[in-house]
Structure 1
């Protein structure tokens, strides 16, 4: 596995490339925050990992501080902000580029990255996606074409998450992802973060979903 720059982000390239996962970080983070995790504990064999870094922009809820963000929060309880559309355009371009090299595309993310992945993969991107992973996130209002509701979606959330709460996830997913082919897994001890129990679950879910031995 070698690591290279990918625009403002990073890409991890395996010796054999059969599939690609595009994974989006959370608010204020960057591609570097997930480099070691994907490098040391690959989710799938023969899988290229694209780790974009979000654009830097002022975030209202953080007193206008400029940071890497996929969209603006006016308050932490906001469901949707129009700035999300700018990130959708960025992610769709990445997915289209990766489609030239593999038929197996996976989209996922943590926190803001989870929200962006759900919205982009289900409601905005028109190309084929094999699976979507949403870790410690929630759903925003979206119009999902019927043919995209069959995409396997994993929603994984910590019961101890005090930032983006389990209640908020359940409410928004139940409201906006009706009819979607989703698996919801709750980790009773997890706060707003990733642990190795979660990472192992995600890996196994992907392998089962994609029929990878």
Structure 2
């Protein structure tokens, strides 16, 4: 029975995948946003993967003049650890953990990642107590404050493989947000790959190549 907390877009790269990648979109987008990336991923041949792209709930977002849009949580101001609706951050993590727990019942390996606000959710979910992925990737993002969201960082985060990529010219989530997050993650003992690219708030072919190379060894045949 499907107990997903979110409606999702599903893309399989082959039959009977043993690895699942849950990919969370950014603010105002939806699960279709990164669907076209799948064919561009340079993944190992003969190792099929199921990609799950959930749709975030529709809610009013303060920094966008209260307009309703898909968002994992409300932003009152873009200030990491300060401007988020911390209660909604905690609720979002719990919902993503439900998705992780279901994926665990069907796949040998579960990876979690996302872009921008979705990347923030992925990083935080991967680091706190509760159902967890085997590895995490965060693109053009930052780490929200776990304590303010009512969450407890988990000791198992030490050694967690994490990929981060950020644009040097990002005007939405400035690169310093990502750099500071990378420093905090290293202090936690995660196994971090940090990449910076000459791009704005987006993804680029070099980033997709590097993400594919990072992801490849994690995929089960």
Question: Structure 1, unaligned stretches of length 5 or more?
Answer: none
Please give the secondary structure, in 2, of the residue aligned with 1:157: strand
Name 2:48's counterpart in structure 1: 46
- Distance (Å, rounded) in 1 between the aligned partners of 2:183 and 2:177: 10
Name 2:191's counterpart in structure 1: 181
User: Structure 2 vs 1, CA of residues 116 and 211 (structure 1 numbering), >3 Å: closer, same or farther?
Assistant: closer
Q: Cα deviations across residues 143-180 of structure 1 (Å, max 9, x unaligned)?
A: 42222221100111111111101112212332465222
Question: Structure 2, unaligned stretches of length 5 or more?
Answer: 147-151
Q: Give 1:17-56 correspondences, 5 Å limit.
A: 17-38=17-38, 40-42=39-41, 44=43, 45-56=47-58
Please give the secondary structure, in 2, of the residue aligned with 1:72: coil
The answer to whether the Cα contact below 8 Å between 1:107 and 1:131 also exists between their aligned partners in 2 is yes
Q: 1:108 aligns with which of 113, 134, 137?
A: 113
Q: 1:133 aligns with which of 134, 137, 142?
A: 137
**Is 1:197 aligned to residue 206 of structure 2?**
yes
- Distance (Å, rounded) in 2 between the aligned partners of 1:54 and 1:167: 26
- Distance (Å, rounded) in 1 between the aligned partners of 2:74 and 2:34: 22
User: Structure 2 vs 1, CA of residues 43 and 139 (structure 1 numbering), >3 Å: closer, same or farther?
Assistant: farther
Structure of higher RCO (CA pairs closer than 8 Å, 6+ residues apart): 2
Name 1:86's counterpart in structure 2: 91
How many residues align? The count is 205
- Distance (Å, rounded) in 2 between the aligned partners of 1:30 and 1:99: 23
Q: Give 1:152-191 correspondences, 5 Å limit.
A: 152-175=161-184, 178=187, 179-187=189-197, 189-191=198-200
The answer to whether the Cα contact below 8 Å between 1:88 and 1:124 also exists between their aligned partners in 2 is no
- Distance (Å, rounded) in 1 between the aligned partners of 2:42 and 2:98: 23
**Is 1:65 aligned to residue 67 of structure 2?**
yes
Task: Give 1:74 shift.
Answer: 0.5
- Distance (Å, rounded) in 1 between the aligned partners of 2:186 and 2:67: 32
Using the size of structure 2 for normalisation, the TM-score is: 0.85
Q: Cα deviations across residues 115-159 of structure 1 (Å, max 9, x unaligned)?
A: 0000011114334x2210000001122342222221100111111
